[in-house]
A and B are shown apart, each in its own frame.
Chain A
Amino acid sequence: MLQKLKPDLTAPVSAAPLAVFRVIFGGMMLASILRFMGKGWVTELYVKPKLYFPYYGFEWVQPLGETGMYALFVLMALSALGLMLGLFYRLSALLFFLSFTYVELIDKTNYLNHYYFVSIVALLLVLVPAHRHFSLDVLRKPNSWVSHVPRWAILIFKLQLGLVYFYAGVAKLNPDWLLEAMPLRYWLPAHTHLPLIGPLLDQVWVAFLFCWFGAFYDLTIPFFLSWRRSRGLAYLTVIVFHVLTAVLFQIGMFPYIMMVSTLIFFSEGFHEKLLHTFRRTASTKVPLFQRSAETAAQPVLLYFLALYFLLQVLVPWRFVLYPGHLFWTEQGYRFSWRVMLMEKTGTAFFYVRDPRTGQEVEIYNRDYLTVNQEKMVATQPDMILQFAHMLQQDFATQGIPDAQVRAEVYVSMNGRGSRLFIDPTVNLAAEKESFRPKTWILPLNEMSPVAKALGLKN
């Protein structure tokens, strides 16, 4: 199939949209990193915590200490600047991808879909010749200038953005969202003090409107943005939608990143005009002839990208391989563009037992975890397991080897009363992490009375 599509995918198209995307994305990343550092989050999230929760298989990714972490963030900021300016582009893109992804892999507590989005866009940017038009690299090496790039170099970003939206929409097609307006029904009334829309946010029908419009928007916006005749209105919707989410939810830079990234759907003419305006202010000239970028590795790249997108399409569906309610077990939940779908809160009590004496002590979670880590551990089984292992290790260093760890965890999800989340009798320290289903997660039974574990101690 790829062979058939090849002429289409490799046909030369204007390099302007790709150059604009590179400038905008690099600029947004630079701003995001400076904001992150400015808020003191490097220290708060990557220096101060006593423990970190790496991803399965990435346990070797560790924080680098205060100096190391700040150095890494400075490197990340410089490479984002390199992206924006198109300076030492491939190296900048690669360094940005590596540094950003490394930081994200340190602690899954901080997982955000938009960080994942940034990581994969950075990876895609490494593969495209986005620096051969409107860049400092062209000023350094005028011979590298091109007016055209192969179509796939732009298509992959549209496809990626389209997948993000579409899957975010698919994820909204669930009973909680559509039939109960959860969790928006709980979240919106918190904003009744806002001017204009505030009083409306207390109304149930408004929560339903937001839910249904949100699902419709996510599912259709990639198509409306792709179609020339609907693009203007669609982009207006993009602005309204993301400004609204920025006002209502604590989601940082994500709305702005999406607002500017979706400009890539606009026509060549639009982007060329944009660049022309910039060039005029800088009074630089471009050659009049046409030259297309040629990529020696193109055939390999195309196969790589085909595989990549196949994975992108399949990964969000991996949850079907696990039993139980996805939102409840969160097995196969991450990396699937599930955004703003759950109000999931938990309280976790951990107990460590010395097998030699049979004595059990309760753990004060904050002795080990930050506020945020404690919140995340309480609702995510893989983090419960990791914390149990960390507790066992800590007790081993205190002279209590082979300690048993169990946890009483209560979770409330999308308006359901809190109930027991995992089997409180299981010795978690003896359970191993793997991609296999975690049998100690209790099923979410909608009908059964709220399960209680108190009294089960010892």
Chain B
Amino acid sequence: MAGFMLLSSCSSDSESGPTTEYDRDAMVANYVENLIIPGYTTFKSKTEAMTAAVDAFIASPSTATLSAARSAYVEAYTAWQDVSAFEFGPASDQLLRTNLNIYPTSASEIEANIAAGTYDLQAAANLDAKGFPALDYLLYNAGTDAELVAQFTTNASASQRKQYLQDVSNLITQRATATFNGWTNGYAATFKGAKGTAVGSAVGSLVNELNQDIDLTKRAKVGFPSGRFTSGSPLPEKAEAYYSKKSLDLLKQNIRAEKAVFMGLTANGTNGPGLDDYLDHVGAKYGDGLLSEAIEAQFEAALAAANAVQGPLAEAVVSQPQAVTKVYDELQKLIVLTKTDMPAALGVTITYTDNDGD
């Protein structure tokens, strides 16, 4: 038996298999120190800048302060795309995805809240009346800048509208700050200490939430406005950032961020130890090549497809359905790889319940 074992281990060593030591702790540390904490640091400061700009706009509404508030909002929303894949630990406690980015936003609920003057933005009923999508509506829903400024100056409910804008903006910053504080006040160590690949482990959380995020990219960012889950015909108003027409930029930023998570790539471009290296370590293959390379190539294909779309996504779903479908299909191929092949190769589980290996 020993001889046979030697034989088989030799034969498979030559084709693949873990040959070198892989330091999973170093990989998790890279994620914490170089991606997650810097990501939330940026996100927190961008939301603070956004709140400051919104406050300045409220203090003296003008096209100039509006423009400053808008660009601060876009920067914060963009920074959100970089961290949306990290919905575990403090972010999960804050339910960031749910509290910050439920779209399409409900214009009628927002207007009803403003008209009423009283509302509970923590209530489940208001999930689609707050967060970035609500800001998007509040800052962009008029045809011209002057008309929008007028909503905050001459309009009968201008003061309530100011208050609502400020409340929505503040809540985003509060959630961002609470998440950042969670990571810097102890969760980083907890996360690094969550060994193994089961549910709740660092590796398990990274893989499962990255997949959740890619699924949202495909389903919500591209699928909703394409009408794939509803009528089959385009529904432009379901696009993320519909009013500001920033949907395509946010989509691309999100795909780049997801790729960075997969690669362990830091904001300054350093390629640290990541899930791709871990896949190489366990010898995960796809076809004739490495699984990690197949996934990286698929991220690129998805980005290329997104780059080929012209103009705001809400318009593209109507005017260039084929280009949008291409983005959708590339994201679907990506999900197959990241949700099927990757967790299998890393032994990542998705539930707490007992199993006997399928």
User: Which A residues lie at the B interface, using CB under 8 A?
Assistant: 39, 41, 44-45, 110, 112-114, 178-181, 183, 185-187, 189-193, 202-205, 208-209, 212, 216, 249-254, 339-347, 349, 359-364, 371-372, 375, 379, 410-412, 415, 417-418, 449-450, 452, 454-455
Contact = CB atoms under 8 A, between A and B. Distances in A.
A254 B341 CA distance: 28
B329 A454 contact: yes
Given A208-B5, A208-B8, A415-B345, A340 B336 contact: no
Contact of A212 (B4, B232, B287, B341): B4
Most buried by A among B231, B341, B350: B341
A431 to B, nearest CB: 23
B97 interface: no
Q: How many of chain B's residues touch chain A, expressed as a range?
A: 35 or more
Interface of B: 1, 4-6, 8-9, 11-13, 17-19, 21-22, 24-25, 195-198, 203, 219, 223, 228-233, 281-282, 284-287, 291, 294, 329, 332-333, 335-337, 339-341, 343-358
B355 A342 contact: no
Nearest to B337: A418
Nearest to B208: A371
Contacts of B343: 345
A362 B228 contact: yes
Most buried by A among B25, B284, B354: B354
Given A193-B196, A209-B5, A375-B350, A254 B356 contact: yes
B336 A372 contact: no
B12 A183 contact: no
A360 B232 contact: yes
Given A251-B355, A361-B228, A362-B229, A179 B344 contact: no
Query: From DSSP, what is the main secondary structure of chain A's interface residues?
Result: mixed
Contact of B231 (A187, A202, A359, A454): A359
Contacts of A44: 353
A190 B204 CA distance: 10
A345 B8 CA distance: 25
Nearest to B357: A340
Contacts of A417: 285-287, 291, 294, 341
Contacts of A216: 1
B287 A450 contact: yes
A193 B195 contact: yes
Given A112-B355, A345-B340, 11 more contacts: A190-B347, A193-B195, A204-B18, A212-B1, A212-B4, A251-B356, A347-B339, A361-B230, A372-B353, A417-B294, A418-B340
Contacts of B340: 345-347, 410-412, 418
A343 B347 contact: yes
Contact of A187 (B6, B347, B352): B347
Contacts of A410: 336, 340
A417 B357 CA distance: 18
Contact of A180 (B1, B12, B203, B282): B12
B335 A344 contact: no
B232 A249 contact: no
14 contacts: A114-B356, A183-B347, A190-B347, A205-B9, A249-B357, A251-B354, A251-B356, A254-B354, A340-B357, A359-B233, A361-B230, A415-B285, A415-B344, A454-B329
B232 A361 contact: yes
Nearest to B194: A193
B341 A112 contact: no
